[in-house]
Amino acid sequence: MVEYLPLILFGVVALVLMLGYPVAFTLGGVSLLFALVGDWFDVFDNAFLEALPSRIYGIMTNETLIAVPLFVFMGVMLERSKVAEELLDTMAALFGRLRGGLGISVTLVGMLLAASTGIVGATVVTMGLLSLPTMVKRNYDPAVAAGTICASGTLGQIIPPSIILVLLGDVLSSAYQQAQLKMGIWDLKTVSVGDLFVGAVIPGLGLVAMYLLYLIGLAIFRPDKVPAAPDLSAQGSLARRVATVLLPPLMLIVAVLGSILAGAATPTEAASVGAVGAMLLAWQRGQFNMQSLREVMQSTVKVTSMVFVIFIGAAVFSLVFRGFGGDDLVEELLRNLPGGVVGAVAVVMLLMFLLGFILDFIEITFVVVPVVGPILLAMGLDPIWLGIMIAINLQTSFLTPPFGFALFYLRGVAPPEVTTSAIYRGVIPFILIQLVMLGLLAKWPQLSTWLPHLVYRQ
């Protein structure tokens, strides 16, 4: 019984979370309760908890994590500056007269917002408020409209600068070093947030391309589901409108991602460029003032505080889990699975997918990845490939009925005529596309590893 205490701890944490208790305090509180009981029965060494202050100090002094509040600030500032509204209007004017044009517009705007904000919930809600009523009014099939918005909104999970990639990069870096030490490698290699950013470019753009192909296919074979909207043409010069609306966000994306790809800046430095650029963009649109700055800063502090409190709770959980021998138990279970490393990866991906129904990506990154990451990487997996697989897997769970977070976000803002069943039906083709991308990555890991090797390891 004692040897299974780590799994019981994990199960109790999941159960308490399903009851609706805050994640950070659940992780810390349940873990400390298990530690207290374990100490009482002399099956837990409290020396493990003595490492907590150094863990917290390591979080506080981690320069990589400075990118989190900066990217959050950038995303919230862009959300307040009405970039999404103007982009949707302009794209609708550009593509609206084509069958499927509104769906294509939503997908492209979702891609641009993902590359400039990286905040999934905000993107889904914003596009749901702005475009879903228009698409339904223009006789789009409600399921297709809802599915397109949900799928496009979750692109922020994989297209840089994604906050999940920032957090994954930091966690995988530590896991990769642990794995190398286990393998007896003392000349340690590293994996950075920049590696994951670059590695996500091809899979992320590949998903966008497959979304667009699906919509074009509907326009050809089921035109009644995605009709044209001839009255959405822009007033005045369309070319001028496209230039004034599209160029500033594109320049911001190029400044942030281009500086990383060119090796001119670290992700943290690029995040500061993005934060300043977002303020300039808001100012250019007449949306920047002290009141808006105060509101954006307050939102940034709230989100950042939530992330770091979860970080601390996850650190407590990790120490108690290890104190009960959880690492050894998980390693034994994974290594004894049929299929070797393939079986281990499949089980871990399935576990993360299911946990994505009840946990946000932040909790999964901080709780699950530190446990399974070193074990999988010690089996010889590429850390960049593993990080991208995890990101797309979590993106898929965000879309999957009945618990996908993106579905809840859209349900909260969808008009009454768009039913919950329509939302569920609409995301199914996009879930299949996600699974195809996971399959392609599993078959050809070079889709995620080729570009980082080209950029950083020439």
Could you report the per-residue pLDDT of 419-438, keeping only the tens digit for each? 889 999 999 999 999 999 99
The Cα angle at residue 220 between residues 215 and 223, in degrees rounded to 5: 85
Its sign, for the CA torsion 214, 217, 223, 227, is positive
pLDDT grade for 75, boundaries at 50, 70 and 90: confident
Q: How far is Cα 340 from Cα 438, in angstroms, rounded to an integer?
A: 19
pLDDT at 458: 46
User: Would you give the distance in Å from CA 12 to the centre of its chain?
Assistant: 25
Q: How far is Cα 191 from Cα 172, in angstroms, rounded to an integer?
A: 7
pLDDT at 65 over 70: yes
pLDDT at 221 over 80: yes
pLDDT at 83: 78
> Across residues 20-35, what is the average pLDDT?
87
- Residue 196 one-letter amino acid: L
pLDDT at 202: 94
Instruction: Measure Cα distances from 238 to 91, 101, 242 in Å.
Output: 10, 16, 6
Contact 392, 158 (CB under 8 A): yes
Weakest-pLDDT range from 103-112, 153-162, 357-366: 357-366
pLDDT at 68: 84
- Residue 281 one-letter amino acid: L
Weakest-pLDDT range from 269-273, 352-356, 431-435, 437-441: 352-356
Q: For 245-264, write each residue's pLDDT tens digit.
A: 888 888 888 888 888 777 78
The Cα angle at residue 37 between residues 32 and 40, in degrees rounded to 5: 125
Query: Would you give the DSSP letter of residue 21?
Result: -
pLDDT grade for 361, boundaries at 50, 70 and 90: confident
pLDDT at 54 over 80: yes
Can you read off the two tokens belonging to residue 129?
């408020």
pLDDT at 296 over 50: yes
Contact 352, 167 (CB under 8 A): no
pLDDT at 236: 53
Q: How far is Cα 9 from Cα 422, in angstroms, rounded to an integer?
A: 38
pLDDT at 119: 64
User: CB within 8 A of 412, min separation 6: which ones?
Assistant: 125
